Structure 1
Amino acid sequence: MSTSPSDAGLQAERTGLAWSRTSLGVAANAVLLAVRELTHDGPGPSLVLAGSAAALAVVVAVYGRRRSARINRSPLPVPLAAGRAVPLLGAAVTALALITGVVLALR
């Protein structure tokens, strides 16, 4: 797949936006869990999940910035493909979504 001249350099911007959306979604998950926990039953074990989600949001945001900066370099670094971090972060976000669903279903 070739890129048009008007598309040159936008890969890093799209990558950064994707990481930003992911970290924002995880942060929103953390806030909603914390608000729900504090307003319904008072502090409880779900606050640990909310704190973990907040920490994950920070990790995703920091890694996303580093990844975008790496892709934005000229010449492109070799290897360009991400290592283990992307699958690990993807698995962590997926696990957070599943655990949040279970926590919300049990309450």
Structure 2
Amino acid sequence: MARVRKALDAGWDPVELREQYNAAAAEKQVAEQALASLPTQVTLTKAQLELWIDELGDLGAALNSANPEELNRLYGALRLSLRYHHANQTVDVEVDPMGDRVDKACVRGGT
């Protein structure tokens, strides 16, 4: 409100301010609806993961016979991360092939 008062004191037209405010409010509402409609993160169950792996075939044999340099490039491209928990003897596996890519957009023409 302080900014609106300053704008009015500086001679801005109240009708123009109202139109700008309404346009900004409408943009915000559209953006909030778009965010709300984004899919949530999907988590696989153990059974779903096992079925998926079975459908892929014997990847273990293929990986065991692969060239180590090729595997290194593959794991690097996938951004493969393994975290071992010794207490319960489990491994967290994370793959983030798009982690280094960022969608860039200019704001108000960019700089």
Q: Give your verdict on TM over 0.5.
A: no
Structure with the greater relative contact order (CA < 8 A, sep ≥ 6): 1 or 2? 1
Would you tell me which structure has more helix in proportion to its own residues?
1
Question: Highest CA radius of gyration, 1 or 2?
Answer: 2
